[in-house]
Structure 1
Amino acid sequence: MTPRQYTEDDEARVAALWRASFPDYNGYNAPEAVLRAKRLVDEHIYVIEDDGEIIATCMAGYDGHRGWLYSVAVAASRQGEGLGRCMVEFAIERLRDLGCVKVNLQIRGGNEAVVDFYRALGFDTEDRVSMGRPLTR
């Protein structure tokens, strides 16, 4: 299966996968809001579809130097098939095509089980403190 560019028609199916994969996606992280906001900036959202179902996703970002991976998700029933690897490698190639020299990602606390997955893809833990601040209007 080949990753492809996300389209507006994918929104409900991607949102459903993200809700199943990331239970804390709500509020400012509501999938529909994230997808719409991302598309205002660029088109770096990728999916794998099988028989009408979105079974894997990856969203990428690029600041002109470093890239980021976000929302890498694979349907629970399809994990272990190499779809996550496929999505990450596809997104990294798109970033490389833009001139990206390094790709970063963050793993949510409690989801440490994916650390070995990313290590197998060449990622390593870096000594950083991740901080965030939600902005309210």
Structure 2
Amino acid sequence: MQIRSFQLSDYKLVAELLEEVLSEDCCEETMKAFARQLSWDSDLVLVAESAGNIVGVLIGTIDHHKGYVYRIAVRDKFRNQGVGRQLVSHMSNRFRQRKVLKVLVAEDKHNEVLRPFYDSLGISSVNVVKLTQPLAIVAG
């Protein structure tokens, strides 16, 4: 398993993964935020690659010295194998390198189901922020 920065050649595979893993309305919101984040800073989009296949993606962003884990998606057959944990760990390292003062999980209606995952990482409710608008609108 390799965690690396998104590359332009990954776009189609990442879009397919998001369509496969996320609900239709979540995917629509995520694709807008994904495109916007790529225009700002593609190094905050990480992919997990296994045997040449994209098996996970994490979209992060930075706004006013705060790092946000916006959306994480892992293919079903790769869940519960540490892919999400590795993606979050690598993103946390990127945030530290950029002198981010606080890391938050963007808890919107789509991320609520991931609460047990974030709890397993030791992320308390202090580190979760409810979004009132999609990230594609508020960050930047």
Range into which the TM-score falls when normalised by the shorter chain: 0.7 to 0.9
- Alignment correspondent of 2:47: 47
- Alignment correspondent of 2:120: 120
Q: How many residues align?
A: 132
Secondary structure in structure 1 of the residue aligned to 2:133: coil
- Alignment correspondent of 2:35: 36
- Decide which structure has the larger Cα Rg and report it: 1
Cα separation, 1, equivalents of 2:47 and 2:69: 13
Root-mean-square deviation over aligned CA pairs: 2.3
Taking structure 2 as the reference length, the TM-score comes to 0.81
- Alignment correspondent of 1:131: 132
Moved over 6 A (4+): none
- Show CA shifts across 1:3-23 (max 9, x none): 001011101110111112221
- Alignment correspondent of 2:10: 10
Cα separation, 2, equivalents of 1:18 and 1:123: 24
Counterpart code for 2:61: G
- Show CA shifts across 1:62-119 (max 9, x none): 1241100122111011101000000001001100110012111123436544212101
Secondary structure in structure 2 of the residue aligned to 1:132: coil
Cα separation, 1, equivalents of 2:107 and 2:20: 16
- Where do 5+ consecutive residues of structure 1 fail to align? none
Taking structure 1 as the reference length, the TM-score comes to 0.83
1:77 aligns with 2:77: yes
